[in-house]
Structure 1
Amino acid sequence: MTNGTVSPLAQSMGHIILLNGFPGVGKHAIARAMQDSLPKSTTRLIDNHILIDPAEAIRPGRGPSHKALRKAICSVAFSAIKEDLNANPDLVFIMSACVGNNSDDIAVLHEYLDITRGTSVSFHMLNLRCGVEEHRKRFEGVERYQAGKKKLGDGKVLDALVRENELVDLGEVNVGEGILFQGKEFDTTDLPIEKSAAEILGMVGWKG
């Protein structure tokens, strides 16, 4: 893993904070709480469903045509994010994903990483983890489905997903040159949403 020196949010030139975790771990809720703690004018939340749902609606499934469409949508979105970060060094983008430890998912991760390649923007990635019982409780919580997104709702599918897959190993990710990268593991099991958000912001250098 190639690490760059990460400055506090108040001093560095733009930030991407990528929350990575399995469905139901609390990525979106934590991201919203983080967004609420940062200046509204310079903070943007890009939930992974914003990018996934259009591709799923147009080309359902996970076949080659779906993946190609998702990649095209992400390419346009990520180019716009990079332009905005270059134009406004105070911006903070909070994003979410479910990147596993396999070649296809790591290729997707590099699409995210390339947003900051060759820039002074810091890229913070956190693998969010949660104990089995708490994970299922969050997964089945009513509030998880109130936003109207196409979220996974089958507990058996979740169990198989977690059992058969691992989150990307942040210690093995080769981010390449030209990226200020910081990767950390974060256990949310015993933490309320607001506490998780505050601790993550502290980990990436936010002093507010």
Structure 2
Amino acid sequence: MIKHKLLMVIGHLRPIADARKRGVSSTSNDATPNPTSVNPQRPPMRAATPSQQALRGKIIVLNGFPGTGKLPILKKVKELLPTETACLLDNHLLIDPVAAVIPGRSQEHHELRRKIRAPIFEKLQERAQKGHTILMTACLVEDDERDASVLQEHLDMAHEADVPIFWINVHCSQEILQQRVASIERCSGTKTKLTDPTLACDLVDKHRLIKPHKTDNSMEGLLFATLDVSGSVELSVSGLMRIIKLP
């Protein structure tokens, strides 16, 4: 009798042991994969939620001719973002120190600008990697090797940080451009900004803003768009926020 009971117990335990070896729980009728096992039928990862996307860093560049209104737009955007994770860099902060010591646009002038940009862009890259939003202004045109090189520096920064870069070429009507270039605020400022409406219009007539997809078609995370900023700052900000998908 005792031997018969022992055989019954052993017979009951053997399927449980076999199930454990296969990584299957015996407490359920449905086989549940062991956490360490690989399930070839596992569904794909879910797409990042809007809140998760918001935590990812990004670089936003407004590229446009002098007087377009790039800086006022980005200043307003910065006010809408968390103070501790938003950074605004106007390109004149990098240009003006060089213009003060090396006036003109000589090779030496441009080389010094490049040397100043390098550590600044490195720091911006670090901030973007931490989830910060980097806002930048630029004035880069096609058919210019130096401008193409500066564009590539922006793309490299985003690539190294593994964050998306939004390159947005902004433009406005000639009438609005003339008004903005000659505005009191602009003319009374301390930055080396163009304040001659005629020269500003000549730039627009003779040049085209650079398009990043023509420089690097394989760049992942690059979004290129154009935006008419002839209207109010608030209207332009609204259009920009839709492009970069921020609330």
- Say whether the fold is shared (TM-score over 0.5): yes
Matching residue of 2:156: 114
Describe the SS at the equivalent of 2:137: strand
CA distance in 2, matches of 1:8, 1:78: 27
Letter of the aligned partner of 1:24 in structure 2? Answer: G
Moved more, 146-155 or 26-35: 146-155
Residues 151 and 212, structure 2, Cα contact 8 Å, conserved in 1: no
RMSD of the alignment, in Å?
2.0
Residues 9 and 204, structure 1, Cα contact 8 Å, conserved in 2: no
How many Å apart are 1:172 and its aligned residue? Answer: 2.0
With over 3 angstroms needed to count, the CA separation of the structure-2 counterparts of 1:145 and 1:171, relative to structure 1, is same
Is the counterpart of residue 156 in structure 1 residue 194 in structure 2?
Answer: no
Residues 113 and 175, structure 1, Cα contact 8 Å, conserved in 2: no
How many Å apart are 1:100 and its aligned residue? Answer: 0.2
Q: Identity rate of aligned residues, in percent?
A: 31
How many Å apart are 1:44 and its aligned residue? Answer: 0.8
Task: After the TM superposition, list the runs of 4 or more consecutive aligned residues in structure 1 that deviate by more than 4 angstroms.
Answer: 7-10
Matching residue of 1:193: 233
CA distance in 2, matches of 1:206, 1:148: 32
Superposed CA offset, 1:97-122 (max 9, x none): 00101232111111111111143311
Describe the SS at the equivalent of 1:11: helix
Residue-pair matches, total: 198
How many Å apart are 1:48 and its aligned residue? Answer: 0.6
Is the counterpart of residue 37 in structure 1 residue 37 in structure 2?
Answer: no
Letter of the aligned partner of 1:155 in structure 2? Answer: P
1:183 aligned residue (198, 201, 224): 224
With over 3 angstroms needed to count, the CA separation of the structure-2 counterparts of 1:200 and 1:85, relative to structure 1, is same
Describe the SS at the equivalent of 2:190: coil
Describe the SS at the equivalent of 2:195: coil
With over 3 angstroms needed to count, the CA separation of the structure-2 counterparts of 1:50 and 1:16, relative to structure 1, is same
Residues 48 and 95, structure 1, Cα contact 8 Å, conserved in 2: yes
**Which residues in structure 2 correspond to 1:30-109 (within 5 Å)?**
30-86=73-129, 88-89=130-131, 91-102=132-143, 103-109=145-151
How many Å apart are 1:173 and its aligned residue? Answer: 3.0
Superposed CA offset, 1:151-182 (max 9, x none): 112222212211111111345231544x4100
Letter of the aligned partner of 1:188 in structure 2? Answer: V
Superposed CA offset, 1:159-207 (max 9, x none): 2211111111345231544x41000011112x21012112201211102
Letter of the aligned partner of 1:48 in structure 2? Answer: N
Residues 110 and 175, structure 1, Cα contact 8 Å, conserved in 2: no
Is the counterpart of residue 24 in structure 1 residue 67 in structure 2?
Answer: yes
Describe the SS at the equivalent of 2:159: coil
TM score, norm. by length of structure 2 = 0.75
With over 3 angstroms needed to count, the CA separation of the structure-2 counterparts of 1:10 and 1:44, relative to structure 1, is farther
With over 3 angstroms needed to count, the CA separation of the structure-2 counterparts of 1:175 and 1:42, relative to structure 1, is farther
CA distance in 1, matches of 2:51, 2:78: 13
CA distance in 2, matches of 1:194, 1:75: 33
CA distance in 1, matches of 2:50, 2:222: 13
Structure 1 runs not aligned, ≥5 long: 1-6
Moved more, 132-141 or 68-77: 132-141
